[in-house]
Structure 1
Amino acid sequence: MSDAPGRPMKYPYTISAKIAQFPMKYYIQNQWIWRYWMIGIAVSVPVFYKIHKMANSPGNVSKWAEIRRKEAAEHH
């Protein structure tokens, strides 16, 4: 595999050249949105996991199955 070219294009006109020369590290280090995005994910994942566990508990599943059975009986 060859190394990156020693002299990058003055104006990257292809999509791959634009992606290769995009200063992503600079944006991640200097923009607030990336930091708060990571904090938001770290805070919301445990909350959504807890909601998921409560909604899919055996008691809740059987309760909703009974509700759906009653609704189906009313329509027939």
Structure 2
Amino acid sequence: MADKPLGRPMKFPYTTAAQIAQFPFKFHFQNQAYWKFYVISLVVCLPVFYKLKKLTNSPGNVAKWEEARKKEAAEHH
């Protein structure tokens, strides 16, 4: 009984939930190059972002930043 859909789809879904439920996600994922390029760019950029994060949060860089902030605070007071 639960496998049979109740009623029929609306000709124009008025509510946001109905619009999302009827949106052809599978068709768009298979036929638009955007999603393929999005995944490729994520794979390429994530290692770069990880290396940049490690570089900027290194202990030497953090100590240098704190020293610069202390020096700046001393000049303002």
> TM-score w.r.t. structure 2 length?
0.82
Could you tell me which residue of structure 1 aligns to residue 54 of structure 2?
Answer: 53
Q: Deviations over 1:26-61 (max 9, x none)?
A: 001000111101111111111111000010010100
Aligned residues: 75
Q: CA deviation at 1:6?
A: 6.3
Determine what percentage of the aligned residue pairs are the same residue: 60
Larger RCO, structures 1/2 (Cα 8 Å, 6+ apart) = 1
* 2:32 pairs with 1:28: no
Q: What is the root-mean-square deviation in Å for CA atoms of aligned residues?
A: 1.7
Structure 1 unaligned spans of 5+? none
Give the ranges of 4+ consecutive aligned residues of structure 1 lying more than 6 Å apart after TM superposition. Answer: none
Find the aligned partners of 1:71 and 1:13 in 2 and give their Cα distance: 57
> TM-score w.r.t. structure 1 length?
0.83
